[in-house]
Every structure is written in C-alpha cells, then in structure tokens.
Amino acid sequence: MQGASLYDRILGHRPNEALRKLCVRTAIVGFLLHLMLCLLYQLSLIDFSSQTSKLFDSYLDALYTPFSIFLAYEVYELIRSIPDSFTDSIGKQFEIITLLVVRDILKRLSDIDASVSSTVDESITILAVECMAFLILFCTALFFSRAKREKSSIANDSEELERFISQKKQLAILLLALYILTAIYSLSTWTYNVFEGDGTTNRTIFFLDFFT
C-alpha cells in the first residue's frame, strides 16, 4: 500500500487540482510573454536567427506556448488515468493527439502568407487534411469521454483486483519519473538548439521520445 499512498501524494486528486491551476496560470503567462516577443520582433526591436524567427513572425505563434503547456498537463493526466481504466487512458491519448493536431494547425496557419498567392498550394492542402483529422480525432475523444461518464461503477472488493490496481499505481509512479526525465532532456536540448539558432518546432519534440 506504500505505492498507493505515494500515488495519492503525487498523482491524487489534490496534487492534480493544484497542478491544473498552475498549468492554467503558466499558460496565460507564457502566452502573454510569447505575444510580447512577437510584438517586439514585428517592431524590429529584437532580432533572431532565420530558424528561430519562425517562432515569432506571426502573432498566431503565441498560441504555441499555451498549447504546449496544456499538452504537458494532458500527458500527466494520461499517467494518472492508468490505474482507473483502459477506456480512460485510451481517451486521454486521443485528447493528446487532438491537441497536437490543433497546435500544428495553428502553427501552419501562422506560416501561411496570404498575400503571396490565392491559389490552393500544398500547404493549404495539408492544412485541410489536418482539419479533417482534427474533426475525426475530436469526435473519437468525445466518444471515449461519453463512455467514461456512462461507465457503471460496480464495486468489486476482491483482493486480486486491489492488488492489480496497486500495481498499476506503481507503474504510473514509474512513468511519471520517466516523464519528468524525458521532459527535462527534451526541454534542455530544445533550449540549447534555440540559442544555437535552430528554433524549429514540430510534434516530434518530446512526444516522439516519450511515447516511444
């Protein structure tokens, strides 16, 4: 039961509520800071390398920061849902993928220059495909969310079930530790690359390493 008590301290309801509030506040602050950097860049008050400037050449880029913060919180929620049920964890994975697609759509919108051409080029086609993918993923996430609400809460006090849930809580604690280490590695590597002038952003950052 030591694993279960540790789970309650770091993945229980109270730490989750505290982390959720921190996530919302951090997302707001991050959005405002990113928006301010975009404004300074547009006014030519600051300058970046050709690669890093892609993070600040449009005001829509400012949405990338809060979405990334919410994605990090959703991964935490995914780890929390492991002891609950298989349906919950699958639903959380669809929510994460949906947020990834939305973030990519917003980034692609910020990279499109409407003044260059009004024809339908490759970037518009990819954007349309991503929008369709978002609708499909969003509907799927809603389906799993509805299944979670309608799930019957049948009490089962068998010792074998309690042992199984305790093992899943221990697994969640282990995954949380791996999550933190992977996040620190990805963030430090990306930050170093930004200072080196390579500020590219894509869905492979962190998420490819973590889900692998």
Average pLDDT over residues 118-145: 74
Using alpha carbons only, how large is the chain's radius of gyration in Å? 20
Residue 56 — φ and ψ, nearest 5°? -135, 5
91: tokens are 């639903």
pTM of model > 0.85: no
Quickly state the pLDDT bin for 150 (edges 50, 70, 90): low
Q: Is 34 exposed, middle or buried (0-12, 13-18, 19+ CB in 10 A)?
A: buried
Report whether pLDDT(165) > 50. Answer: yes
The region of weakest confidence among 51-60, 129-138, 148-157 is 148-157
Question: By the 8 A CB rule, do 173 and 11 touch?
Answer: yes
State the pLDDT confidence band at 26, using cuts at 50, 70 and 90: very high
- Whether residue 3 contacts residue 166, with contact meaning beta carbons closer than 8 Å, is answered with yes
Side chain identity at 64, as an amino acid letter? Y
pLDDT score recorded for residue 154: 47
In single-letter form, the type of residue at position 175 comes to L
Query: pLDDT digit string (tens) for 59-73?
Result: 888 888 888 888 889
Most confident option among 18-22, 42-46, 83-87, 105-109: 18-22
* 33 pLDDT more than 90: yes
Structure tokens at 55: 């993070």
Amino acid (1-letter code) at residue 198 = D
**Rounded mean pLDDT of 48-58?**
71
On the question of pLDDT at 211 being above 90, the answer is no
Neighbours of 205 (CB within 10 A): 15
Which of residues 103 and 110 earns the better pLDDT score? 103
pLDDT of residue 20: 92
Q: What is the pLDDT of residues 126-139, one digit of tens each?
A: 777 878 888 888 88
pLDDT value at 56 more than 90:
no
| Mean pLDDT, rounded, of the chain | 78
CA angle 131, 61, 129 (to 5 degrees): 15
d(CA 32, CA 137) in angstroms, rounded, equals 29
Residue 31 has pLDDT above 90, yes or no: yes
Structure tokens at 188: 């430090």
Gap between the Cα atoms of 150 and 34, Å rounded? 40
Q: What is the C-alpha end-to-end distance of the chain, expressed in Å?
A: 30
The Cα–Cα gap between 60 and 54 comes to 11
d(CA 6, CA 166): 11
CA distance 212 to 197: 27
- Joined together, the tokens standing for residue 67 give 């979405």
Q: Select from 36, 14, 41, 4 the least CA-distant residue to 164.
A: 4
Which among 1-15, 143-157, 188-202 has the top mean pLDDT?
1-15
**Over residues 143-159, mean pLDDT:** 63
Contact of 127 with 109, CB cutoff 8 Å: yes
